[in-house]
Amino acid sequence: MSRSVGLDRKRSLLLGAGVVGTALAAYGLAMAVDPGALTKAFAGVRWEWFVVAALAYAASQLVAGFVWRAGLSAGGLHGVGRGCALSSHWLARGAAELLPAQLGEGVRLAALRRHPATDEGGCARIAGSVGAFKLVDGLGNLVVAGLLTLVVPLPGPAANVRWVLLAVLLAAALSGALAWRLGVERAKAWLPAPARRALRGATDGAALLGDRRRAMRAFALHGASTAARIVSLAALLLAFGLPPGAALLVFALLVMASLIPISPGGLGVREAALVPALVAAYGLGTDNALAFSLSIQAMVLAVSLIGGLVALAYHHRGVRRARRERVAVPAPA
């Protein structure tokens, strides 16, 4: 018990330090920005490129929804239709822009728990599928960002980003190798019986990770989603008259900022990561860099909320229809 309390205390201290550091960075940025210059930066936006950025981001999330659908099918939840799988993903994306600390994933779980196809597996199976999806998403982002920063030369101090990403990738690889070496069954043996039962459902839901063919398909889809995301960032840079080549650096920094999910949509953390790097690497004004960073939040929030509202209406009807169809099926004799 004392060890658990000590770990919780350390996590709380690290989270508090992260919040304080982000707040100080945000305060420093706010003091360095001229409100008039920031308004001028927004006034010069080319809206046609902003629309292109929004459409590309919507495409990236649509493809990510198919990654989520692949994980559900592999985890034995193939009874969840494509429409309900995609709508639950959009609901989670909308919630993630309004809630901190990955709480949007709770909305994903709650939305699917209402579907009759999840009655047998319960929350544990859905949670396993969520874990597999987040692992594919997180690892895929780290790999893409790491490879891009190695292959594409980044200007000035931004070149140091590659070493941070490589260190994170190395830590992830070592953790994965240790988990593989330990094995799920050996880890289960250390747990009490109720925890083993819950873990059994979760591991069933995360079956995507053990199916090489489906896992490769999921990573390929994730690569397409990432490509659309980078196109979205390049279009948004063009909307502000900034060099589109900075999209690779921006994507890498967004991946790093996502490792500290302490605010809705990464607000504050993203600005603390992006603005100094863009100013140092490309010689941009702080006002232009901050306006661009805030526009990412605005664009993602608008697309996610619109998609979430449409998904909410569809998901409600889809779940009701699935329940009616299950009731209409006669029980076996």
Model confidence pLDDT, tens digit, residues 101-136:
678 888 898 888 888 888 776 788 888 889 889 988
Query: Is residue 330 situated within a structural domain?
Result: no
Could you tell me if residue 16 is inside a domain?
no
Q: Could you tell me the CA-to-CA distances from 180 to 13, 56, 96, 166 in Å, in that order?
A: 30, 36, 30, 21
Is residue 31's pLDDT more than 60?
A: no
**pLDDT over threshold 60, residue 28:** no
Domain membership of residue 5 (yes or no) is no
CB-based contact 240:251 (threshold 8 Å)? no
pLDDT on residue 189:
62
Decide if pLDDT at 14 tops 50: no
Q: Which of 158 and 294 is assigned the larger pLDDT?
A: 294
C-alpha pair distances (Å), 327 with each of 121, 321, 331? 19, 10, 9
Q: How confident is the model at residue 237 (pLDDT cuts 50, 70, 90)?
A: very high
How high does pLDDT run on average in the chain? 79
pLDDT at 196: 65
For residues 211-224, give the mean pLDDT: 90
Q: Is residue 55 part of a domain?
A: yes
Judge contact between 288 and 81, C-beta under 8 A.
Answer: no
Number of domains composing the chain: 1
pTM of the predicted structure, to 2 decimals: 0.81
What is the C-alpha to C-alpha distance for residues 198 and 200, in angstroms, rounded to an integer?
A: 5
The answer as to whether 331 is a domain residue is no
Domain extent for 89: 35-324
pLDDT score, position 5: 45
Is position 315 within any domain?
A: yes
Give the Cβ contact number of residue 159 at 10 Å. Answer: 13
Closest CA to 54 of 309, 304, 314, 312: 304
* More confident call, 128 vs 151: 128
The answer to whether residue 24 is domain-embedded is no
Task: Decide if 3 is inside a domain.
Answer: no
